[in-house]
Amino acid sequence: MPKWSLRRRPGRTLGLLLLLVLSFLVLRRYLNPKVGSCDHEGALRLNWSTLVPLWLQHQRLGLRTKGPDFILEDSIFQILGGSIHYFRVPREYWRDRLLKLKACGLNTLTTYVPWNLHEPERGKFDFSGNLDLEAFIQLAAKIGLWVILRPGPYICSEIDLGGLPSWLLQDPDMKLRTTYHGFTKAVDLYFDHLMSRVVPLQYKHGGPIIAVQVENEYGSYNKDRAYMPYIKKALEDRGIIEMLLTSDNKDGLEKGVVDGVLATINLQSQQELMALNTVLLSIQGIQPKMVMEYWTGWFDSWGGSHNILDSSEVLQTVSAIIKDGSSINLYMFHGGTNFGFINGAMHFNDYKADVTSYDYDAILTEAGDYTAKYTKLRELFGTVSGIPPPPPPELTAKMVYEPMSPALYLSLWDAIQYMDKPVTSETPINMENLPVNNGNGQAFGYVLYETTIFSSGVLSGLVRDRGQVFLNRVSIGFLDYKTTKITIPLTQGYTILRILVENRGRVNYGNNIDSQRKGLIGNLYLNNKALKNFKIYSLDMTKQFLQRFDMDNWSVIPKELTFPAFFLGALSVGIYPSDTFLKLEGWVKGVVFVNGHNLGRYWNVGPQETLYLPGVWLDKGINKVIIFEETMSGSMVQSTDIPHLGRNQYIN
């Protein structure tokens, strides 16, 4: 190839000089921005890879396979990963949790991306605050972690509808996780937006993302053979150029394989490891082995027991996985919390909703504290790498505050007048199809249905998931999956029939996700005759919902209480706000809000007995606490520095 010199190419010389000057000006502008300016914000989000010539970028080889090994650039690379979900951890604690992951001897972060939280309304995207995916990934890179991204669109993750937006269910013919046009059209629009954010963060563009997962455990669903190739192409067409992976458990491994995509496995025992590795070998030959999800514990369901996995068993299984030559990802390294109403559910024989805590009996606790598992695994990973891990960060402070007694009260029946006008309909409308939220329906919370009746008899209907039935303001019982009929006692003339229905969480795993509409499903019958003319109130319990209640709307707590009701109190905090756990002894079932943050649900059936309250959500001085209680209140709310997750009580 002929050499060229500056003498032969004066035009190119001038162009090169101009390029150098321009590059200097651009760098100067970004490296010395005025705080608060657009340039300052741009500097924080500067994609350095755009300053590297393309021909140099393409020299970066990224993660690839060579026989039984992963290769990163020219070196054998063993993935030692841990899962943390940014949407389950207060943003202010991201750095703490990631530093603890690094200090455990791990080199890779894995995280899901919840579509339902990022696109709460069609075409309206939210990647701000606690949902700032890019900031989370960039922080991981700054700490020295690689990233495996799991963007779905379905993620399971014990989150409502497996992370799929509830507005998809407005289509009566919707077939989720298939190539049904209504689903793929929505996925395409979401991926258009999401991948524009993700693509610059890939390894070959100078970012930390070394691999991307194609959907999640599709082999155990497997309703459409064309679906996984479609998702693979959707990722690649939008610029995903890193290694692609699938992830399947024992029920779906053989059916979850996709051409050109490395299969990985999900498990908890050494017996599963041996069996699944045998299947992997028969499917894809000699390839790197990876346990994408080693389940370090398990999630809990309301009315069940708290799941615990012994730390010695965890150490033995992780040691066996590493000795087998596999890479590993700890699911979960840190579970966090199902703040708000984002928890999912399971429904095989019985419907079981997940609790608010996503502690998972993981390596770190719900509040980010160390466990025996952390200590043992840190020693193991330090031995494997031959490099001592960095020192673990200090624990976040915990505090026990003075008990709080609510001072003010507002019954639901009095609160109705301050809500948006109800939807009027001849027949009941399920939550997802309510004409609210700019036509996107209601995703979470409660719905109140009202109609009038003039006789007694048997009330029947499909309530999803739990409906408290009232005659005027008097509760007469509940309708749910097991109780589909209730007797209406004798009434005199005009009576208001009310049903307060709670969405306790849409199923996140299984073959019945298409049927996860909530509220009243179909007609409501009295003596087998369909009732008509409903008023329907949307109680989504968002910040905007609670802001409708002015101080003038509240009253002093009376001697005789009417439920359901809202209670207002003040939590006093000293000069150093710290983490705590709220304990609601005497309260039965409801939701707690602190300074506008929805801490999640409580229910005295257990196993969860406390709600995690992050100190970063507290202010010095007075903090506003609102409790929505469905049936019976306690006299106070206490706090503790120790969570209570282990009560062993079951629903009859």
Residues with a known catalytic role: 217, 293
**Alpha helix segments (H runs only) across 593-645:** none
Task: Please give the structure tokens belonging to residue 434.
Answer: 């309510």
Q: Is the distance from CB of 519 to CB of 376 less than 8 angstroms?
A: no
Peptide bond into 465 cis (omega under 30): yes
Determine the 3-state secondary structure of 77 from DSSP.
strand
Q: Count of alpha carbons within 13 Å of 25, Cβ hemisphere only?
A: 6
Q: How far is residue 548's CA from residue 554's CA, in Å, rounded to a whole number?
A: 11
Peptide bond into 90 cis (omega under 30): no
Give me the DSSP letters along 305-321: PPP---HHHHHHHHHHH
**Alpha helix segments (H runs only) across 52-180:** 54-57, 94-103, 115-118, 133-143
Q: What angle do CA 297, 301, 304 make, to 5 degrees?
A: 95
Q: How far is residue 600's CA from residue 635's CA, in Å, rounded to a whole number?
A: 20
Q: How far is residue 392's CA from residue 102's CA, in Å, rounded to a whole number?
A: 8
Q: How far is residue 163's CA from residue 118's CA, in Å, rounded to a whole number?
A: 10
Q: How far is residue 506's CA from residue 351's CA, in Å, rounded to a whole number?
A: 10
Q: Is the distance from CB of 459 to CB of 524 less than 8 angstroms?
A: yes
For residue 20, what is the DSSP state?
H
Q: How far is residue 571's CA from residue 96's CA, in Å, rounded to a whole number?
A: 26
Q: Count of alpha carbons within 13 Å of 102, Cβ hemisphere only?
A: 18
Give the H/E segment covering residue 72: strand 69-72
Cα–Cα distances in angstroms (integers) from residue 551 to residues 123, 407, 514, 521, 546, in the given order: 35, 12, 42, 36, 11
Which residues 6+ apart lie within 8 Å of 196 measured at CB? Answer: 238
Which residues 6+ apart lie within 8 Å of 180 measured at CB? Answer: 173, 174, 224
Q: Is the distance from CB of 451 to CB of 533 less than 8 angstroms?
A: yes
Give me the DSSP letters along 201-261: GBGGGTSSEEEEE-SSSGGGT---TTHHHHHHHHHHHTT--SEEEEEE-TTTGGGS--TTS
For residue 507, what is the DSSP state?
B
Which residues 6+ apart lie within 8 Å of 21 measured at CB? Answer: none
Which residues 6+ apart lie within 8 Å of 436 measured at CB? Answer: 420, 423, 442, 538, 540
47, β-bridge pairs: none
CB neighbours of residue 633 within 10 Å:
21
For residue 163, what is the DSSP state?
G
Q: Is the distance from CB of 210 to CB of 228 less than 8 angstroms?
A: no
Cα–Cα distances in angstroms (integers) from residue 557 to residues 55, 553, 560, in the given order: 71, 12, 8
